[in-house]
Amino acid sequence: MTANGRRPSRLTINADAQAMIDVARAEGIETVWDRLAAQEPQCGYCALGLSCRNCAMGPCRIDPFGEGPQKGVCGADADVIVARNLGRTIAAGSSSHSDHGRDILEVFRATARGETTGYRIADEAKLSRLAGELGITTEGRGTLEIAEAVADALYEDYGSRKESLALTGRAPEARRQLWEQLHITPRGIDREPVEMLHRTHMGVDNDYVNILLHGLRTSLADGWGGSMIATELSDIMFGTPTPVVSEVNLGVLEFDQVNIAMHGHNPLLSDVVVSAAADPELLELARSHGATGINVVGLCCTGNEMMMRRGVPIAGNHLMQELVMMTGALEAMVVDYQCIMPSVTDEAKCYHTQVISTSDKAKFPGATHISFDPARGIEVARQIVRLAVDVYPNRNPDRVRIPVDPVRMMAGFSVETILGALGGTPKPLVDAIASGDIRGAVAVVGCNNPKTPQDYGHVELTRRLIEHDILVLVTGCAAVANGKAGQMLPESAALAGPGLRAVCESLGIPPVLHMGSCVDNSRILVLAGALADALGVDIDQLPLAGAAPEWYSEKAVAIGAYVVASGVTTVLGVQPPIFGSPHVVELLAGGLDGVVGARFAVEPDPVQAALLIRRHIEAKRRGLGLPAFDVDAEPVGVAV
Give residues 75-134 in contact with ligand SF4 (rule: CB under 6 A).
Answer: 76, 81
Strands 407-411 and 244-248: what pairing? antiparallel
Minimum CB distance to ligand SF4, residue 207 (Å): 15
Give residues 24-63 in contact with ligand SF4 (rule: CB under 6 A).
Answer: 52-55, 57-60
How many whole angstroms separate alpha carbon 434 and alpha carbon 619? Answer: 14
Under the criterion CB under 6 A, does residue 447 sit at the interface with ligand MSK? Answer: yes
- Which stretch, 67-75, 157-165, 549-557, 604-612, contacts ligand MSK (CB under 6 A)? 549-557
Q: Which residues contact 481 (CB under 8 A, 6 or more apart)?
A: 317, 448, 454, 455, 458, 459, 550
CA 343-346-348 angle, 5° bins? 110
- Which stretch, 266-274, 369-377, 408-416, 550-558, contacts ligand MSK (CB under 6 A)? 550-558
Minimum CB distance to ligand MSK, residue 480 (Å): 8
Q: Which residues contact 236 (CB under 8 A, 6 or more apart)?
A: 108, 121, 122, 123, 126, 127, 130, 147
Q: Say which amino acid occupies 419.
A: L
Nearer to ligand MSK, 476 or 577 (CB): 476
For residue 547, the number of C-alpha atoms closer than 13 Å in the C-beta half-sphere is 37
Residue 260's nearest CA partner among 359, 384, 119 is 384
How many whole angstroms separate alpha carbon 584 and alpha carbon 86? Answer: 10
How many whole angstroms separate alpha carbon 428 and alpha carbon 127? Answer: 27
Under the criterion CB under 6 A, does residue 72 sit at the interface with ligand SF4? Answer: yes
Q: Left (φ > 0), alpha (ψ -120 to 50) or beta: where does 545 sit?
A: beta
Minimum CB distance to ligand MSK, residue 230 (Å): 12
247 strand-pairing partners: 408
Residues 522, 501 contacting (CB under 8 angstroms): no
Minimum CB distance to ligand MSK, residue 553 (Å): 4
For residues 356-378, one letter each, b for 16 or more C-beta atoms within 10 angstroms of the residue's C-beta and e for the rest, the string is bbbbeeeebeebeebebebebbb
How many whole angstroms separate alpha carbon 210 and alpha carbon 178? Answer: 16
Which of 182, 202, 350, 602 is in the footprint of ligand SF4 by CB under 6 A?
202
Nearer to ligand MSK, 215 or 264 (CB): 264
Question: Among ligand MSK, ligand SF4, none, what does residue 120 contact (CB within 5–8 Å per kind)?
Answer: none
Residues 513, 419 contacting (CB under 8 angstroms): no
Minimum CB distance to ligand MSK, residue 567 (Å): 22
Nearer to ligand SF4, 84 or 599 (CB): 84
Nearer to ligand MSK, 213 or 609 (CB): 609
CA 349-352-356 angle, 5° bins? 75
Residues 410, 311 contacting (CB under 8 angstroms): no
Site string for ligand MSK, 294-313 (x = CB under 6 A): ------xx------------
Question: Among ligand SF4, ligand MSK, none, what does residue 193 contact (CB within 5–8 Å per kind)?
Answer: none
Which of 94, 185, 257, 553 is in the footprint of ligand MSK by CB under 6 A?
553
Nearer to ligand SF4, 45 or 600 (CB): 45
Residues 262, 297 contacting (CB under 8 angstroms): yes
Nearer to ligand SF4, 7 or 53 (CB): 53
Under the criterion CB under 6 A, does residue 446 sit at the interface with ligand MSK? Answer: yes
Instruction: Give the SS3 label for residue 460.
Output: helix
- Which stretch, 70-78, 135-143, 224-232, 551-559, contacts ligand SF4 (CB under 6 A)? 70-78
Nearer to ligand SF4, 52 or 319 (CB): 52
Question: Among ligand MSK, ligand SF4, none, what does residue 74 contact (CB within 5–8 Å per kind)?
Answer: ligand SF4
Minimum CB distance to ligand MSK, residue 416 (Å): 22
Nearer to ligand SF4, 77 or 279 (CB): 77
Question: Among ligand MSK, ligand SF4, none, what does residue 486 contact (CB within 5–8 Å per kind)?
Answer: none
User: With CB under 6 A, what is the number of residues at the site for ligand MSK?
Assistant: 15
Residues 585, 594 contacting (CB under 8 angstroms): no
Minimum CB distance to ligand SF4, residue 206 (Å): 10
Which of 187, 263, 310, 318 is in the footprint of ligand MSK by CB under 6 A?
318
Which phi and psi angles does 20 have, rounded to 5°?
-75, -30
**Binding region for ligand SF4 (CB under 6 A):** 52-55, 57-60, 72-74, 76, 81, 202
Residues in contact with ligand MSK by CB under 6 A are 265, 300-301, 317-318, 339, 446-447, 476-477, 517-518, 553, 555-556
